[in-house]
Structure 1
Amino acid sequence: MARIYISLGSNIEPEQHLQAGLTSLRACFGPLRLSSMYESEAVGFSGTNFLNMVASAETDLNIAAVVAQFKQIEQNHGRLAGAKKFSPRTLDLDLLLYDHVVCQTPVVLPRAEIVNNAFVLWPLAELAPELIHPVVDKSYARLWQEYDKDSQRLWPVTFEWPPGLTF
C-alpha cells in the first residue's frame, strides 16, 4: 500500500464541492486523514478566495491510476476538462506525494507546489510534520517554518462538517 497526499481546493461553492470531493475520495481510497481547512487569496489570477486542505490515504493503485481517478472525481463535481490552469474551479485535486517517489511522469512528484505555495505547504506540514521531502531533504514542518509567510496570504478557517459525515 502506498501513502498518498492530496491537495484539495475550490473557490466555487467551496464548502459543497470540498465535501463532495472528500466523499468521493473516501469511496475510492477508504479512510482519509484530513488537515485543517485554510482560506487563501487566489494565486496566479484575480478571483474569489479559495478554501484549501490536504488529505492523506492509502492505495494499491499506481500513480497513473490515482491521477486518472482524481480527474474523474473533478469532472464528476463540475470541473471542466481543459479549463485554464489559473482560473476559478469547483474542485481541484492534485497528487502531492506518492510514498517517497520522485518522478517526472505520469506527473511530477513531489509536486512543486509543496514548496512554492502556502496553501499546500501549511496543511501538509500540519498533517505530516515529520515526513521528509524526498528532494530537499527537510521535514514539512521545517519547510513551513522557513517559508516566507508574507509572500501569500493564508489563514485557518473553522469548518464544521455536517453531522454523520466521516472521512
Structure 2
Amino acid sequence: MKNHNITYLSLGTNQGNKLDNLQNAIYKITDDVGTVLKISSVYKTASWGFDSNDFFNICIQVTTNHQPKKLLEILLAIESDLGRKRKETQSYTDRNIDIDILLYDDEIIATEKLTVPHPKMLERKFVLVPLAEIANTIIHPIEKKNIGTCLQNCTDDSEINRIDKKLEKPIPLSEKFNYIAIEGNIGAGKTSLANMMANDFNTKLVLERFADNPFLPKFYIDKERYAFPLEMSFLADRYQQLSDDLAQLDLFKNFVISDYYIFKSLIFAQITLQKEEYKLYRKMFDLMYKEITKPDLYVYLYQNTERLLENIKKRGRAYEQNIEANYLQKIHDGYKSFISTQQKLNTLIIDVSEMDFVNNAEDYQSIIKQIKEA
C-alpha cells in the first residue's frame, strides 16, 4: 500500500455561482487528489488586497498519496479545468476558484514553486477561521502552536461571516462499499486495476493465487487430463482464501478489493470439464457458494479478443502463449451468461477495449468515476 498523507487545502471564489464553484472543486479534488475527510463551513469575507466582490472561503482536509509537487500540479490543473485563467501579475485579482495547499502532514517545504506551510496563512482570518473549525488542534510545523492558538494570535481584523449553506462531502468508496470484486477475461487487466485501486484507496487486497497452482502449466499442455484436478484445486483455494479474507468484513468492516469472484470457478469449469465431471463439480461448488460473502459491487472488465491476445503475449507467461481466440470467446460467453442470470448482484460492466488505464491517468479516472457512480 502507498503511504497516505493528510493535507489541508484552502478554497476561495468571488465570481459566478460561488457555492457551485466550491462544490465542483470538491468533486474534482475527490476524483483527482484523494478522499475529502472534512469540509469547513462556508465563510464570506471582503476581497483581500483589492476592491471587488466578496469571497466565499472554506478549508478541507484530504487524504492523498500524491507527493507535494504532484499535488500542486493536480490542483493547478483542477483550477484550469474549472475555468480559472491566471494572469501575469503579482497583484490580487478576481477568481472563480483558488486552491492553496496550507499544510501537508507536518512537513516544511521550500521550493521555487511551493512553500508549505503556506507563508501567508497565519496573516489571514479567511484562512485560519475555517481551518481552525476542522483542524483546531493541529500543530503548525514552524510556529509549533496549534491552529486554534494561531487564530487567537492573528492580527487580521477583517470581518468574516459564516453563511447558512453547507457543501456536500462526497461519499468515499470505503463508505459506499465493503467489498468490490473485479472480474474479466484472461488478460483483461483485472489484477492491474485491483492493485491500483488498493493503492489509491488504501484497501485490503485479495489476489488470486494462480501462480502457485501446479496443475495450471500442465493444463495448457493437456487440457483433457488436467482439467478436473485444476478446477477442483482452484475452487478449494478460492473458497479458502475468500472465506478467510472476507470473514474480517463482519469483524472490522474493512474495505476489500479482489481480482476475482468465486463464480469464475463455475464459468471455467463449464468450459473445461466433461459432462459427468461437471455434475460432480457443480455439487461441490453449490455447497461452497452458499457460504461466500457476496460483493457489494461486481465489476466486469470487457476487453475484445484481439486486445486480450495482445495483453497475454505482452505479459509473457509461457503456459498462456498457446491460448486461442475461441477459448477466450467461450470464457466471455460464460461471464455474459452468468451476469445475465444474477439479478441480485450489483454489476457494473466497463468496456476497456480502447483504454490503457495502467499508463493513462484519464482512462483510470474514468473507470473510478464509473465505480463511484455505480
Q: TM-score, normalised by structure 2?
A: 0.42
Task: Identify the structure with bigger relative contact order (alpha carbons < 8 Å, sequence gap 6+).
Answer: 1
Contact 2:41/2:162 (CA < 8 Å) preserved in 1? Answer: yes
Q: Secondary structure at the match of 1:17?
A: helix
Letter of the 1:58 partner, please give it.
T
More strand by share: 1
Counterpart CA distance in 2 for 1:50 and 1:133 is 25
Indicate yes or no: 2:27 matched with 1:23.
yes
For 2:115, the aligned partner's letter is: V
- Seen in structure 2, the aligned counterparts of structure 1 residues 155 and 133 have a Cα distance that, compared at 3 Å, is same
Q: Which amino acid aligns with 1:26?
A: T
How far off its partner does 1:160 sit? 3.8
1:70 corresponds to which residue? 75
For residues 2-49 of structure 1, the C-alpha deviation after alignment (integer angstroms, 9 at most, x for no partner) is 100000000002112111111101112333110111000001111110
Amino acid at match of 1:157: I
Q: Distance in 1 between matches of 2:14 and 2:87?
A: 17
| 1:32-47 map, 5 Å | 32=36, 33-47=38-52
Does structure 1 conserve the Cα–Cα contact (< 8 Å) formed by 2:33 and 2:71?
Answer: no
Higher relative helix content: 2
Contact 2:109 2:115 (C-alpha < 8 Å) held by counterparts: yes
Aligned match of 2:103: 97
CA distance in 2, matches of 1:140, 1:30: 23
Select which of 116, 119, 125 maps to 1:112: 119
Aligned partners of 2:88 and 2:23: how far apart in 1? 22
Alignment: residue pair count: 163
In structure 1, give the amino acid aligned to 2:101.
L
CA distance in 1, matches of 2:56, 2:135: 19
Counterpart residue number, 2:53: 48
The one-letter code sitting in structure 1 at the alignment partner of 2:9 is I
Counterpart for residue 150 of structure 2: 143
Deviations 1:49-97 (A, max 9, x none): 0000001111111111100001000001110033544011010000111
Q: Matched residues in 2 for 1:113 and 1:25: separation? A: 22
| 1:130 is the counterpart of 2:130 | no
Q: Output the TM-score relative to the length of structure 1.
A: 0.92
Q: What's the secondary structure of 1:31's corresponding residue?
A: strand
Find the aligned partners of 1:126 and 1:95 in 2 and give their Cα distance.
Answer: 17
Q: Partners of 1:62 and 1:81 in 2: how far apart?
A: 24
8 Å CA contact retained: 2:35, 2:64: no
Question: Partners in 2 of 1:44 and 1:156 — Cα distance?
Answer: 21
CA shift for structure 1 position 114: 1.6
- Deviation string, structure 1 residues 96-134 (Cα, Å, up to 9, x no partner): 111111121141110022201001011111111111100
Question: 1:10, 1:51 within 8 Å by CA — same for their partners in 2?
Answer: yes
| Residues 42 and 49 in structure 1, CA contact (< 8 A), matched pair in contact too | yes
Looking at structure 2, the residues matched to 82 and 64 of structure 1 have their Cα atoms a distance apart, in angstroms, of 22
Give me the whole-angstrom Cα distance separating, in 2, the residues matched to 1:166 and 1:142: 27
CA distance in 2, matches of 1:81, 1:141: 32
Larger Rg: 2
**Structure 1 unaligned spans of 5+:** none
Q: Is the 8 A contact 1:132 1:139 kept in 2?
A: yes
Cα distance in 2 for residues equivalent to 1:36 and 1:9: 12
Q: Distance in 1 between matches of 2:140 and 2:45?
A: 23
